[in-house]
Amino acid sequence: MKKRKAYRPSCLGHIYHRGHKGFIVFYNVKDCIVFFTIFMVAAEKYGIRVSGLCLMYNHYHVDFEADNPKNVSRFIAAYCSLYSKSFNARYGFSGKVFDEYGLSNKRGNKMRRTAYAYLYNNPVEWHLCPRAEDYRWNFLKYAVEDHPFSEKIISRNISVR
């Protein structure tokens, strides 16, 4: 078995993780929101600073930093396990949802910029949207919209009941 690279604290970590055997792991809006929620709770728990996340249909990419390199593998195991259990229960499946993940360390500003560009332009390369900021399932959407997952709630339209 090939030994996986370890995260270096002074670098930007880039994780790429495919669905098991290339299967679709994000079928609908609920899958994406469940993953985002589980992912961000785990990031908080393990002290991971996430600077980029992009969900595609059969894989995802993450850019992050962490002070404790041992927490990175714990973080990945935690959110993958919880999402897999949720996914399998929802669709009546069993077994693995994700294959082995890959991790690369990005040192220096040029490598960091390249990693961010790659992460955010992935949906554009896959012809899912014309511009990276139009894609609903990445953090870049938060930079241009207050409500990337739903319509803005207008207070005058809310009933007292």
The values of phi and psi at residue 67, to 5°, are: -85, -35
Helices (H), the chain: 29-46, 69-91, 108-125, 140-144
Tokens 């990945």 locate to 76
74: left (phi over 0), alpha (psi -120 to 50) or beta: alpha
Q: Give the pLDDT of residue 152.
A: 65
CATH of the domain at 23: 3.30.70.1290
Evaluate whether residue 122 is within a structural domain.
yes
Evaluate whether residue 3 is within a structural domain.
no
* 3 state SS of 15: strand
Evaluate whether residue 41 is within a structural domain.
yes
Evaluate whether residue 81 is within a structural domain.
yes
Residue 150 pLDDT > 80, yes or no?
no
Evaluate whether residue 114 is within a structural domain.
yes
Evaluate whether residue 32 is within a structural domain.
yes
Single-letter code of the amino acid located at 37: T
Calculate mean pLDDT across residues 147-151. 59
**Prediction pTM value:** 0.81
Of residues 151 and 67, the one with the higher pLDDT is 67
Evaluate whether residue 1 is within a structural domain.
no
Q: What is the mean pLDDT of the chain?
A: 87
- Band (pLDDT 50/70/90 cuts) for residue 138 is confident
- Band (pLDDT 50/70/90 cuts) for residue 131 is confident
Q: How far apart are CA 11 and CA 107, in angstroms?
A: 5
Q: Give the pLDDT of residue 2.
A: 55
pLDDT tens digits for range 68-114 = 999 999 999 999 999 999 999 999 999 999 999 999 999 999 999 99
Domain span holding position 45: 12-157
Evaluate whether residue 71 is within a structural domain.
yes
Residue 54 pLDDT > 70, yes or no?
yes
Domain count, the chain: 1
- Band (pLDDT 50/70/90 cuts) for residue 25 is very high
